[in-house]
């Protein structure tokens, strides 16, 4: 064990780190598959997966090997030069997505910022305004532009908020049509809302979005940062809806745990960009793109998309069977292993109690428990997760 005790790490956090996280009282030191261990040797089942990041599990041997090999050869060169893993990953993502062009960033928020910027360049080229429409319940990041697309609560204290952003009700086609005018450059949507509580877009709504954007020459952006990379049972969730965006953003699970984001565009939108219109120092460096290539290989070789779908259906079915029991479950929803359980009560106490019993889950949207485990999590870990959830509910509600 490190010379610092568990309490020392908490003190260091309180003393030196910006107080922007409500951290759980754990110092994690090791992970393998769907399990993690803290600095006191306690073991936990992880159904949070770094917030839908570790889709191949913690420290997957193939991804670890790829990172180690690349780190010994070439870590960073800047984008003044070409690197092999960056080009191979760009080709892989373009072919898998059906999109034409790729740009690499460092995070999901940065990818969405870039998508907004690219959409505005296209709109201005076609004499449209630069307004961006987003939807209630959405979450696209915590930068200034991305909080402008989201909840008012996240904007408080950061005024003036950037202008040129509008929000309409999720899945409300009439409200969307009423918001469209020549000043609208783009519409951005999560096919499955994550932070908002695991809400799926209606398929007919998604098709109507595409039709409206085609009719008005508006850029359609799919934010697949959380729902992409196999989590829903599809490489990208656009495949489930059968709708093609003009821009798609990815991050989270793309790098298997290392920070990387991606902006994928069609040629129509990419064609308005010129050298110098966008850039990044770190984005898509050899180390992170090698990790992402290895992550995609794991997803394919272990058939994790099919696994995600099968386990997600099993998980929802198991929870659905207990809806009639006095656990306070209102609804279970999701796609693949992106599952939200809505309760009649706030879920933070439930999350805390589950942690005490050795399961790391996530509370979001006030009363939703979000389950986004590694896609290769064993069934026994999912079974234990449900056992702990029900035990915890009984304790916190005195059932």
Span 327-386, pLDDT tens digits? 999 999 999 999 999 999 999 999 999 999 999 999 999 999 999 999 999 999 999 999
What pLDDT, on a 0 to 100 scale, did the predictor assign at position 77?
98
Above 80 in pLDDT, residue 30?
yes
User: Bigger pLDDT: 322 or 64?
Assistant: 64
Percentage above 90 pLDDT, the chain: 95
The pLDDT-based confidence of 1 (bands split at 50, 70, 90) is: very low
What residues have CB less than 8 Å from 128, skipping those under 6 apart?
A: 182, 183, 184, 185, 217, 218
Above 50 in pLDDT, residue 6?
no
What pLDDT, on a 0 to 100 scale, did the predictor assign at position 130?
98
Tokens 């729902």, residue located: 227
CA distances from 116 to 93, 111, 166, 272 (A): 20, 9, 13, 14
Nearest to 186 by CA among 209, 162, 154: 209
Sign (positive or negative) of CA dihedral 292, 293, 294, 295: positive
What pLDDT, on a 0 to 100 scale, did the predictor assign at position 170?
98
Average pLDDT of the residues in 129-158: 97
User: What CA–CA distance (Å, rounded) separates 33 from 24?
Assistant: 21
Above 80 in pLDDT, residue 172?
yes
Q: Please write the tens of the pLDDT for every residue from 88-109.
A: 999 999 999 999 999 999 999 9
Residue 301 burial (CB count, 10 A): 9
What pLDDT, on a 0 to 100 scale, did the predictor assign at position 4?
47
CB neighbour class for 358 (10 Å; exposed up to 12, middle 13-18, buried from 19)? middle
Above 60 in pLDDT, residue 2?
no
What pLDDT, on a 0 to 100 scale, did the predictor assign at position 325?
87
Average pLDDT of the residues in 180-193: 98
Q: What is the DSSP letter of 159?
A: P
Q: Please write the tens of the pLDDT for every residue from 234-288.
A: 999 999 999 999 999 999 999 999 999 999 999 999 999 999 999 999 999 999 9
pTM across the whole model: 0.96
What pLDDT, on a 0 to 100 scale, did the predictor assign at position 338?
98
Per DSSP bridges, beta strands 101-105 and 261-265 are antiparallel
What pLDDT, on a 0 to 100 scale, did the predictor assign at position 5?
44
Nearest to 316 by CA among 190, 198, 170: 198
Q: Please write the tens of the pLDDT for every residue from 46-57.
A: 999 999 999 999
Cα 169-170-171 angle, rounded to 5 deg: 115
Helical residues (DSSP H) of the chain, grouped into ranges: 6-16, 49-52, 61-71, 84-97, 108-125, 144-148, 173-179, 203-216, 238-241, 267-270, 286-301, 304-320, 348-356, 379-397
């Amino acid at each position: 064990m490190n010379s610092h005790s568990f309490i020392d790490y908490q003190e260091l956090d309180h003393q030196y780190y910006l107080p922007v996280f409500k951290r759980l009282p754990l110092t994690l030191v090791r992970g393998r598959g769907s399990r993690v261990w803290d600095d006191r040797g306690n073991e936990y089942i992880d159904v949070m997966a770094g917030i839908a990041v570790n889709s191949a599990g913690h420290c997957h041997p193939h991804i670890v090997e790829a990172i180690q090999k690349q780190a010994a050869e070439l870590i960073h060169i800047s984008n003044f030069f070409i690197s092999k893993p960056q080009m191979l990953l760009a080709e892989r993502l373009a072919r898998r997505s059906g999109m034409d062009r790729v740009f690499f960033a460092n995070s999901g928020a940065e990818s969405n910022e870039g998508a907004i910027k690219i959409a505005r360049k296209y709109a201005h080229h076609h004499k449209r305004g630069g307004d961006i429409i987003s939807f209630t319940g959405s979450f696209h990041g915590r930068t200034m532009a991305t909080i402008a697309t989201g909840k008012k609560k996240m904007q408080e204290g950061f005024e003036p908020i950037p202008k040129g952003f509008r929000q309409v009700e999720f899945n409300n086609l009439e409200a969307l049509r009423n918001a469209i005018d020549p000043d609208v450059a783009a519409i951005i949507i999560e096919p499955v809302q994550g932070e908002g509580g695991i809400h799926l877009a209606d398929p007919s709504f998604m098709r109507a979005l595409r039709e409206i954007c085609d009719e008005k020459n508006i850029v359609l952006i799919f934010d697949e940062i959380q729902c992409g990379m196999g989590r829903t049972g599809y490489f990208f969730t656009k495949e489930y809806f059968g709708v093609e965006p003009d821009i798609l953003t990815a991050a989270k699970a793309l790098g298997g745990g290392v920070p990387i984001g991606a902006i994928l565009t069609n040629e129509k939108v990419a064609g308005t960009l010129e050298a110098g219109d966008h850039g990044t120092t770190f984005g898509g460096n050899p180390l992170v793109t090698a990790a992402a290539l290895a992550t995609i290989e794991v997803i394919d070789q272990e058939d994790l998309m099919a696994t995600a779908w099968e386990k997600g259906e099993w998980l929802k079915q198991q929870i659905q069977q207990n809806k009639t029991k006095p656990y306070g479950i209102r609804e279970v929803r999701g796609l693949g292993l992106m599952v939200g359980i809505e309760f009649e009560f706030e879920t933070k106490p439930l999350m805390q109690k589950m942690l005490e019993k050795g399961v790391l889950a996530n509370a979001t949207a006030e009363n939703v428990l979000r389950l986004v485990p590694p896609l290769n999590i064993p069934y026994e870990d999912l079974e234990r997760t449900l056992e702990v959830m029900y035990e915890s509910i009984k304790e916190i509600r005195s059932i």
